[in-house]
Amino acid sequence: MTRLRDLLLRWLLVPTLALWLISATVGYLRSLALAHEAYDRTLLGSALVIGERLSVQSGQIVVDLPYAALAMLRTDTQDSIFYRVATLADGRHITGYADLPPPSTPLGSEPLFYDATYKGQHIRVVALAWSVVGDSQPQTLTVQVAETMDARRQLTRRIVSESAVMQLLLIAAAAGLIGLGVRRGLAPLKRLRDDVRARDANDLTSIDTHRVPREVVPLINAINVHTERQRQLSDAQARFIANASHQLKTPLTVLRAQVDHALQQNDHEAMRTVVQSVHQSTQATQRVMNQLLSLARSEPGRPLDIEALDLTALAREQTFDMLALARAKSIDLGFEGELPVPVRGEPVLLRELVNNLVHNAISYTPPGGHVTVRVSQCDGRAHLGVIDNGPGIPPEERPRVFERFYRGAATSAHGTGLGLAIVKEICDRHQIEITIVDDPSGKGLSIQLIWPPTDPPHA
Ligand SMILES: Nc1ncnc2c1ncn2[C@@H]1O[C@H](COP(=O)(O)OP(=O)(O)OP(=O)(O)O)[C@@H](O)[C@H]1O
Ligand SMILES: [Mg+2]
């Protein structure tokens, strides 16, 4: 695991050191050019001094140049100085160092500076054309003055090394400050770590984002969202356990009493009657069990297993599964819907949803009634309607029928009041709109479900 401080330092130091290297190289070249400029000017001064001291006497060129005069022109004495005077026209040597390298290009009116090697040393040379007028014809001479380059190089090195050391010190100081800044910046996170460590295992409240650096807030928010999901999940589990134990207690007590009663029977027929009621109770208990499991499945917080489905096929299958129940109550159960209607959802939950609605319609519609399940598609949205001609739900009860364990006041059929609560939770999880539609005839119940628009098929 990389430490944030090391990461920052690496990202900052490596490029900065590379930049420092480039800057030192550029600085060296620039300082060298400036040193050349300054020293060249002095060198030219020396050449001009020599020029001034040239004269023609009795047709002979005379140079009155004591060495001291040259030495005086120099500000430092670590470099060796060489000079030479020759005729410009034919290069005839007059005075100085005869083998001093001549300029490679012809001299004009401007002095010429160039680098050369002399006696194994790098030298800088200035050459200029100088006219001397004597008693005879004016003569043009080449005056060259050269010097070794130690002083310039030393000056350049000094300038560059001083500034490079300064820059390095600055970089080191910046690195130190970054380390310090990171430590201070992370201090609130350390406090947060201690707070979280000290928390109770059941404490699933959100972490306060006010005391952490702004950059970390999205992370804390994500953790808070996760914790909130955990809290919902754990609340749902607690609710489920409470519901399950409450709902199973009664049917199990009844079952136990029935079994006890059956055991006391000696007569085969009487025992058969009791066992039949045990069978019915077992079915009812099984239904409650299934409902509780559906409730646990549809709880918010649990991820859904979404699939692409054909609602027509799913609803038809569920309706046909209820045919026996409808027949037993002499209810005419019909299904309307021919074309496939695509929806997305978790198949188990959608089956449970249809099952609960049709079960209600059959349970509450008196014998001889009609129940119709209708699937259609309108404006790209799937519609499912469960319509019966039973007693309907009175308007004042409608807001409450989706609550868990709520049962209508005039309800006679067996039930626990979980069916519509399950339907509502499944609808919420799938963003399905659910409405109790008023039947124009004023009798019966019509429950309408409308799915969110399906994505257009990919071209
Ligand atoms: N089709 C219907 N016709 C008339 N009343 C209905 C219909 N469907 C539901 N109800 C009323 O709404 C109440 C709540 O229904 P819900 O399905 O939630 O519970 P239940 O049917 O009583 O029990 P459970 O479905 O858990 O066995 C019912 O008790 C009933 O009064
Ligand atoms: Mg019901």
Structural class in CATH, domain 4-157: alpha beta
Per-position DSSP letters for 209-226, written without gaps between them: -TTS-GGGHHHHHHHHHH
Lowest mean pLDDT among 54-63, 146-155, 330-339, 374-383: 54-63
Architecture of domain 217-298: Orthogonal Bundle (1.10)
The closest-lying atom of ligand 1 relative to the alpha carbon of residue 361 is 1
Delimit the domains of the chain by residue range.
4-157, 217-298, 307-450
Question: Ligand 1: does its nearest atom lie under 6 Å from the Cβ of 408?
Answer: yes
| Atom 30 in ligand 1: residue holding the nearest Cα | 408
Per-position DSSP letters for 78-123, written without gaps between them: SS-EEEEEEETTT--EEEE-TTSPPPSS---SS-EEEEEEETTEEE
Rounded Cα–Cα distance for residues 368 and 389 (Å) = 10
| Atom 25 in ligand 1: residue holding the nearest Cα | 419
Lowest mean pLDDT among 117-126, 130-139, 167-176: 130-139
Quote the pLDDT of residue 201. 84
* pLDDT class of 459 with cuts at 50, 70, 90: very low
Rounded Cα–Cα distance for residues 15 and 82 (Å) = 46
The two structure tokens encoding residue 201: 């295992």
Question: Ligand 1: does its nearest atom lie under 6 Å from the Cβ of 251?
Answer: no
Torsion, Cα 223 226 231 235, to 10 degrees, reads 180
Q: Which fold has domain 307-450?
A: Heat Shock Protein 90 (3.30.565)
| Atom 8 in ligand 1: residue holding the nearest Cα | 360
Quote the pLDDT of residue 309. 95
The more confidently predicted of residues 5 and 24 is: 24
| Atom 22 in ligand 1: residue holding the nearest Cα | 417
The two structure tokens encoding residue 384: 């499912």
* Residues, CB within 5 angstroms of ligand 2 (ion): 360, 415, 419
Question: Ligand 1: does its nearest atom lie under 6 Å from the Cβ of 355?
Answer: no
The more confidently predicted of residues 273 and 291 is: 273
pTM (2 decimals)? 0.52
Quote the pLDDT of residue 67. 64
Give the distance (Å) from ligand 2 centre to CA of residue 344: 25
Q: Is the dihedral of CA 130, 133, 139, 145 positive or negative?
A: negative
Give the distance (Å) from ligand 1 centre to CA of residue 179: 67
Residue 139 sits at φ, ψ, to 5 deg, of: -120, 145
Quote the pLDDT of residue 458. 46
Question: Ligand 1: does its nearest atom lie under 6 Å from the Cβ of 220?
Answer: no
Question: Ligand 1: does its nearest atom lie under 6 Å from the Cβ of 390?
Answer: yes
The two structure tokens encoding residue 258: 């029935």
Quote the pLDDT of residue 251. 75
Quote the pLDDT of residue 73. 53
pLDDT digits (tens, 9 = 90+) for 125-141: 999 999 988 766 788 99
Q: Find the mean pLDDT for residues 224-250.
A: 79
Question: Ligand 1: does its nearest atom lie under 6 Å from the Cβ of 425?
Answer: no
> What mean pLDDT, rounded, does the chain reach?
87
**Angular region, 209: left φ>0, alpha ψ -120 to 50, beta rest:** alpha
407, 416, 423, 449: which to mutate for ligand 1, most atoms within 8 A of CB? Answer: 407
